Amino acid sequence: MLSHHHKCLFIHIPKTAGQSIEHMFLNSLSLSWEERAPLLLKYNPDPSKGPERLAHLTADEYVNCGYISPELFSRYFKFTFVRNPWDRLVSEYKYRGYDNQFSLDDFIRYHLPKAGMSDNYRHLIPQSHFFSKDHNVDFIGRFENLQDDFTVVAEKLGLETSLLPHVNASRNHLQAYQDCYTDFSRKWVADMYQEDISRFNYVY
Protein backbone atom coordinates (compact mmCIF):
# COMPACT_ATOMS: atom_id res chain seq x y z
CA MET A 1 0.00 0.00 0.00
CA LEU A 2 1.37 3.38 -1.04
CA SER A 3 -0.05 6.56 0.45
CA HIS A 4 1.44 9.79 -0.81
CA HIS A 5 -0.92 11.67 1.51
CA HIS A 6 0.65 9.99 4.55
CA LYS A 7 4.11 9.75 2.95
CA CYS A 8 4.31 6.07 3.77
CA LEU A 9 4.67 2.64 2.26
CA PHE A 10 3.12 -0.45 3.84
CA ILE A 11 4.69 -3.73 2.75
CA HIS A 12 1.69 -6.04 3.08
CA ILE A 13 2.86 -9.57 3.80
CA PRO A 14 -0.13 -11.90 3.30
CA LYS A 15 -1.91 -13.20 6.43
CA THR A 16 -0.48 -10.58 8.80
CA ALA A 17 -3.66 -8.47 9.30
CA GLY A 18 -2.80 -6.27 6.32
CA GLN A 19 -6.37 -5.56 5.26
CA SER A 20 -7.20 -4.34 8.76
CA ILE A 21 -4.30 -1.91 8.51
CA GLU A 22 -5.29 -0.80 5.02
CA HIS A 23 -8.82 -0.07 6.21
CA MET A 24 -7.41 2.37 8.76
CA PHE A 25 -5.71 4.37 6.00
CA LEU A 26 -8.81 4.27 3.81
CA ASN A 27 -10.92 5.51 6.72
CA SER A 28 -8.50 8.38 7.31
CA LEU A 29 -8.97 9.42 3.67
CA SER A 30 -12.77 8.88 3.74
CA LEU A 31 -12.48 6.16 1.11
CA SER A 32 -14.44 2.91 1.01
CA TRP A 33 -12.89 -0.49 0.29
CA GLU A 34 -14.31 -0.23 -3.24
CA GLU A 35 -12.41 3.07 -3.66
CA ARG A 36 -9.03 1.68 -2.56
CA ALA A 37 -7.23 1.97 -5.94
CA PRO A 38 -5.55 5.36 -5.12
CA LEU A 39 -3.53 3.53 -2.45
CA LEU A 40 -2.26 1.13 -5.15
CA LEU A 41 -4.61 -1.57 -3.87
CA LYS A 42 -5.82 -2.68 -7.27
CA TYR A 43 -5.62 -5.28 -10.00
CA ASN A 44 -2.58 -5.30 -12.27
CA PRO A 45 -2.98 -6.76 -15.79
CA ASP A 46 0.72 -6.39 -16.69
CA PRO A 47 3.05 -9.20 -15.42
CA SER A 48 6.07 -6.95 -16.00
CA LYS A 49 4.69 -4.58 -13.35
CA GLY A 50 4.40 -7.14 -10.55
CA PRO A 51 1.71 -9.58 -9.38
CA GLU A 52 -1.97 -9.43 -10.26
CA ARG A 53 -2.78 -8.00 -6.82
CA LEU A 54 -0.53 -5.02 -6.17
CA ALA A 55 -1.35 -5.08 -2.46
CA HIS A 56 1.34 -7.73 -1.98
CA LEU A 57 4.27 -6.06 -3.72
CA THR A 58 7.71 -6.52 -2.19
CA ALA A 59 9.75 -3.47 -1.30
CA ASP A 60 12.04 -4.15 -4.27
CA GLU A 61 9.04 -4.32 -6.62
CA TYR A 62 7.65 -0.98 -5.50
CA VAL A 63 10.88 0.62 -6.72
CA ASN A 64 11.91 -1.66 -9.59
CA CYS A 65 8.44 -1.70 -11.17
CA GLY A 66 8.24 2.09 -11.04
CA TYR A 67 5.51 2.60 -8.45
CA ILE A 68 7.73 4.84 -6.34
CA SER A 69 11.02 6.55 -7.11
CA PRO A 70 14.17 5.62 -5.17
CA GLU A 71 14.18 9.16 -3.77
CA LEU A 72 10.64 8.94 -2.37
CA PHE A 73 11.30 5.42 -1.14
CA SER A 74 14.18 6.71 0.95
CA ARG A 75 12.09 9.61 2.31
CA TYR A 76 8.80 7.87 3.05
CA PHE A 77 8.12 5.94 6.26
CA LYS A 78 8.15 2.23 5.40
CA PHE A 79 6.63 -0.41 7.63
CA THR A 80 5.46 -4.00 7.66
CA PHE A 81 4.07 -6.66 10.00
CA VAL A 82 5.33 -10.21 10.45
CA ARG A 83 3.78 -13.32 11.98
CA ASN A 84 4.90 -16.60 13.52
CA PRO A 85 5.48 -18.84 10.44
CA TRP A 86 3.71 -21.86 11.95
CA ASP A 87 0.68 -19.71 12.74
CA ARG A 88 0.81 -17.93 9.37
CA LEU A 89 0.77 -21.19 7.38
CA VAL A 90 -2.25 -22.47 9.32
CA SER A 91 -4.01 -19.16 8.72
CA GLU A 92 -3.43 -19.54 4.97
CA TYR A 93 -4.57 -23.17 5.07
CA LYS A 94 -7.82 -22.23 6.80
CA TYR A 95 -8.33 -19.06 4.77
CA ARG A 96 -8.49 -21.20 1.64
CA GLY A 97 -11.02 -23.53 3.29
CA TYR A 98 -8.66 -26.47 3.00
CA ASP A 99 -9.11 -27.56 6.61
CA ASN A 100 -12.52 -28.95 5.60
CA GLN A 101 -10.95 -30.93 2.74
CA PHE A 102 -7.61 -32.36 3.84
CA SER A 103 -4.98 -32.23 6.57
CA LEU A 104 -2.22 -29.66 6.83
CA ASP A 105 0.24 -32.44 5.96
CA ASP A 106 -1.64 -33.14 2.73
CA PHE A 107 -1.78 -29.41 1.95
CA ILE A 108 2.01 -29.29 2.17
CA ARG A 109 2.57 -32.55 0.28
CA TYR A 110 0.07 -32.21 -2.54
CA HIS A 111 -1.64 -28.82 -2.72
CA LEU A 112 0.95 -26.08 -2.40
CA PRO A 113 0.77 -23.57 -5.28
CA LYS A 114 3.60 -23.79 -7.77
CA ALA A 115 6.43 -21.28 -7.62
CA GLY A 116 5.91 -18.15 -9.70
CA MET A 117 4.16 -14.79 -9.67
CA SER A 118 0.71 -16.07 -8.70
CA ASP A 119 -0.95 -14.46 -5.70
CA ASN A 120 -1.51 -17.88 -4.12
CA TYR A 121 2.21 -18.65 -4.21
CA ARG A 122 3.07 -15.18 -2.93
CA HIS A 123 1.01 -15.98 0.16
CA LEU A 124 3.58 -18.62 1.08
CA ILE A 125 6.97 -17.07 0.35
CA PRO A 126 9.16 -16.29 3.38
CA GLN A 127 8.36 -12.97 4.97
CA SER A 128 12.01 -11.91 4.82
CA HIS A 129 11.72 -11.88 1.01
CA PHE A 130 9.35 -8.92 1.10
CA PHE A 131 12.14 -6.49 1.93
CA SER A 132 15.85 -6.50 1.21
CA LYS A 133 19.13 -4.89 2.14
CA ASP A 134 18.70 -2.40 -0.71
CA HIS A 135 15.03 -1.68 0.07
CA ASN A 136 14.55 -2.18 3.79
CA VAL A 137 11.80 -0.92 6.08
CA ASP A 138 11.85 1.50 9.00
CA PHE A 139 9.54 -0.44 11.32
CA ILE A 140 8.62 -4.12 11.65
CA GLY A 141 5.53 -4.75 13.74
CA ARG A 142 4.34 -8.10 15.05
CA PHE A 143 0.99 -9.70 14.36
CA GLU A 144 1.19 -11.03 17.91
CA ASN A 145 1.36 -7.46 19.23
CA LEU A 146 -0.77 -5.95 16.47
CA GLN A 147 -2.65 -3.15 18.21
CA ASP A 148 0.27 -1.81 20.23
CA ASP A 149 2.66 -1.97 17.30
CA PHE A 150 0.18 -0.33 14.95
CA THR A 151 -0.17 2.49 17.50
CA VAL A 152 3.54 3.20 16.91
CA VAL A 153 2.82 3.52 13.18
CA ALA A 154 -0.27 5.64 13.74
CA GLU A 155 1.52 8.07 16.00
CA LYS A 156 4.38 8.39 13.52
CA LEU A 157 1.97 9.23 10.69
CA GLY A 158 -0.63 11.23 12.62
CA LEU A 159 -3.38 8.63 12.24
CA GLU A 160 -6.19 8.19 14.72
CA THR A 161 -5.18 5.32 17.01
CA SER A 162 -8.56 3.62 17.36
CA LEU A 163 -8.87 -0.15 17.43
CA LEU A 164 -8.01 -1.90 14.21
CA PRO A 165 -11.00 -3.51 12.50
CA HIS A 166 -11.02 -7.31 12.29
CA VAL A 167 -10.98 -7.87 8.52
CA ASN A 168 -10.39 -10.96 6.33
CA ALA A 169 -9.71 -13.27 9.28
CA SER A 170 -9.38 -17.01 8.77
CA ARG A 171 -12.15 -19.20 10.08
CA ASN A 172 -11.66 -20.82 13.50
CA HIS A 173 -8.90 -18.33 14.21
CA LEU A 174 -9.20 -18.93 17.95
CA GLN A 175 -8.10 -22.57 17.64
CA ALA A 176 -4.45 -23.11 18.58
CA TYR A 177 -2.39 -23.47 15.41
CA GLN A 178 -0.37 -26.26 17.05
CA ASP A 179 -3.43 -28.53 16.83
CA CYS A 180 -2.94 -28.78 13.05
CA TYR A 181 0.67 -29.93 13.15
CA THR A 182 2.45 -33.28 13.04
CA ASP A 183 6.21 -33.80 13.29
CA PHE A 184 6.38 -33.73 9.48
CA SER A 185 4.59 -30.40 9.00
CA ARG A 186 6.29 -28.77 11.97
CA LYS A 187 9.73 -29.61 10.52
CA TRP A 188 8.66 -28.53 7.03
CA VAL A 189 7.84 -25.04 8.34
CA ALA A 190 11.10 -24.93 10.32
CA ASP A 191 13.04 -25.68 7.13
CA MET A 192 10.98 -23.58 4.71
CA TYR A 193 10.94 -20.49 6.93
CA GLN A 194 14.30 -20.86 8.62
CA GLU A 195 15.30 -17.29 7.72
CA ASP A 196 12.09 -15.82 9.20
CA ILE A 197 12.37 -17.91 12.35
CA SER A 198 15.96 -16.86 12.90
CA ARG A 199 15.53 -13.22 11.93
CA PHE A 200 12.40 -12.57 13.99
CA ASN A 201 13.13 -15.02 16.84
CA TYR A 202 9.97 -17.10 16.45
CA VAL A 203 9.47 -20.44 18.17
CA TYR A 204 6.87 -23.12 17.66
The pLDDT of residue 84: 98
Q: For residues 148 and 48, what is the distance between their CA atoms, to the nearest angstrom?
A: 37
pLDDT more than 90, % of the chain: 83
Would you say the pTM of this structure is higher than 0.85? yes
Could you please state the CATH topology (level 3) that the domain comprising 2-200 is classified under: Rossmann fold (3.40.50)
Q: Tens of pLDDT along 2-50?
A: 999 999 999 999 999 999 999 999 999 999 999 999 999 999 999 899 9
- 2 backbone dihedrals φ, ψ, rounded to 5°: -120, 120
Q: List the one residue out of 167, 41, 7, 172 whose CA is nearest residue 94.
A: 172
Q: For residues 108 and 96, what is the distance between their CA atoms, to the nearest angstrom?
A: 13
Q: For residues 81 and 126, what is the distance between their CA atoms, to the nearest angstrom?
A: 13
The pLDDT of residue 174: 60
43: how many CB neighbours lie within 10 A of its CB?
10
Q: Tens of pLDDT along 57-105?
A: 999 999 999 999 999 999 999 999 999 999 999 999 999 999 999 999 9
Q: Tens of pLDDT along 177-193?
A: 999 999 999 999 999 99
Give Cα 194 to chain centroid, integer Å: 18
